[in-house]
């Protein structure tokens, strides 16, 4: 490697059905960690980290082709915006003005993850560079006023840095020309074993409270203690044991927002490969999701993704925050800067 900080590559991956060229960027850090990212949806397609035996394992779920991503309903590896998670009835108010969003989760009467063609289905402008911290990919997208019902033109930048401390650092910034709501996240499904179920993964999740949901997976507005519930993950817990406790719930596993105690979010360990991942964020919450809705999905290299073959830790503001005054504010106004960071650190 010529550069001690790592290297990057850019190639044409494919073309969308609408005829837009999609590029794939490869980032490799000084220790050999490698990630492949598409300009379509900012998708993290591959992420290779070393196991305890020194073999590199691809620890993210994904697809082989762009066509599969274009028809993907699971948001595998994608940037989510303008608003991650759910908004009840797709409605909210700012300054007395009521807005109606695209209702793309009709069975539950919700707007979900930014609409039918949210940020996950947009082709972003990408540019790579090498920094002293490691290789970096900058992605930019402008969402115009009225896009999926959201007010204001939103200029968004997402920066992926594959640091030489074996971290994936994600920096989100956004500005608007009209009051709007913003809640950005990354929807990568991890499996630290590389395949199979996630039941033997252990998790520590640093949250004393969570936001319970109704039958439509919308928060009730309550913020309740996790103590003496299946949501108490403050001590190391096998994911399979927690999922079993929730098998008869409305979510069929974890699909819940946790109220974080600090910038340390979670620690996940997979004993077979010996891979550990820690998560840190500036966001107030995280959606812990155990892939309950994956059913017979054909993924990379012919693998079949079924329930509980991957998990997500989607750092975020809370679901339906615009309609709960006791939840953290998600309104962005002209002159303000939306700015958040999340780190996935591999040990």
Q: Which residues pair with residue 346 across a beta bridge? A: 277
Mean pLDDT confidence for 127-141: 97
At 289, which CATH number? 2.70.98.10
Residues forming the active site: 187, 314
* Residue 171 placed within a domain: yes
138-186: per-residue pLDDT in tens? Answer: 999 999 999 999 999 999 999 999 999 999 999 999 999 999 999 999 9
Residue 92 has pLDDT above 70, yes or no: yes
- High-pLDDT (> 70) share of the chain, %: 99
Q: pTM to 2 decimals?
A: 0.96
pLDDT in tens, 40-70: 999 999 999 999 999 999 999 999 999 999 9
Q: How far apart are CA 221 and CA 92, in angstroms?
A: 15
| Contact indicator for 239, 203 with CB cutoff of 8 Å | yes
Confidence of residue 2 (pLDDT cuts 50, 70, 90): low
Three-state SS at 43: coil
Domain annotation covers residue 263 = no
Confidence of residue 74 (pLDDT cuts 50, 70, 90): confident
The DSSP code sequence of 109-177 is TEEETTSTT-GGGSBPEEEEEEETTEEEEEEEEEEPTTGGG--S-EEEEEEEEE-TTSEEEEEEEEEES
Pairing of strands 304-305, 297-298: antiparallel
Our count of domains for the chain comes to 1
Asked whether residue 213 is domain-assigned, the answer is no
pLDDT of residue 303: 94
**Is the residue at 339 inside a domain?**
yes
Task: Report the phi/psi class of residue 6: left, alpha or beta, with left for phi > 0 and alpha for psi in -120 to 50.
Answer: left
Domain span at residue 324 reads: 7-195+285-346
Task: Give the count of beta carbons closer than 10 Å to the beta carbon of residue 20.
Answer: 12
Position 6 pLDDT exceeds 90: no
* Residue 38 in domain: yes
Q: Is residue 278 part of a domain?
A: no
Q: Is residue 232 part of a domain?
A: no
Measured over the CA atoms of residue 70, residue 71, residue 73 and residue 74, the dihedral's sign is: negative
pLDDT for 3 equals 76
CA distances from 138 to 125, 142, 162 (A): 8, 14, 12
- Does residue 96 belong to any structural domain of this protein? yes
11 strand-pairing partners? 24
């Amino acid at each position: 490697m010529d550069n001690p900080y790592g290297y990057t590559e850019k190639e044409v991956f494919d073309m969308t059905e609408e005829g837009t060229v999609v590029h794939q960027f490869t980032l490799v850090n000084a220790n050999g960690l490698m990630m492949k990212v598409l300009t379509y949806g900012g998708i993290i397609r591959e992420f290779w980290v070393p196991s305890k035996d020194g073999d590199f394992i691809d620890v993210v779920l994904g697809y082989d082709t762009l066509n599969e991503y274009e028809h993907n309903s699971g948001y595998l590896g994608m940037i989510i915006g303008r608003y991650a998670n759910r908004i009840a009835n797709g409605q909210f108010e700012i300054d007395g003005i009521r807005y109606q969003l695209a209702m793309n989760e009709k069975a539950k009467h919700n707007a979900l993850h930014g609409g039918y063609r949210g940020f996950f289905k947009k082709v972003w402008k990408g540019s790579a560079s090498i920094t002293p911290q490691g290789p970096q990919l900058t992605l930019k997208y402008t969402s115009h006023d009225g896009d999926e019902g959201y007010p204001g033109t939103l200029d968004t930048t997402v920066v992926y840095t594959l640091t030489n401390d074996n971290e994936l650092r994600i920096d989100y910034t956004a500005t608007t020309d009209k009051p709007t709501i913003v809640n950005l996240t990354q929807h990568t499904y991890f499996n630290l074993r590389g395949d199979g179920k996630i039941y033997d993964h252990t998790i520590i999740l640093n949250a004393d409270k969570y936001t319970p949901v109704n039958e439509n997976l919308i928060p009730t507005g309550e913020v309740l203690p996790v103590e003496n519930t299946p949501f108490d993950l403050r001590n190391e817990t096998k994911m399979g044991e927690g999922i079993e406790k929730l098998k008869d719930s409305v979510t069929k596993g974890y699909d819940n927002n946790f109220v974080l105690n600090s910038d340390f979010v979670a620690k996940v360990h997979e004993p077979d490969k010996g891979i550990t991942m820690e998560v840190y964020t500036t966001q107030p919450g995280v959606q812990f999701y155990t892939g309950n809705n994956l059913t017979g999905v054909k993924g990379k290299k012919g693998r079949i993704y079924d329930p509980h073959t991957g998990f997500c830790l989607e750092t975020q503001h809370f679901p339906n925050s615009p309609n709960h005054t006791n939840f953290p504010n998600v309104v962005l106004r002209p002159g303000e800067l939306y700015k958040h960071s999340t780190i996935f650190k591999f040990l």
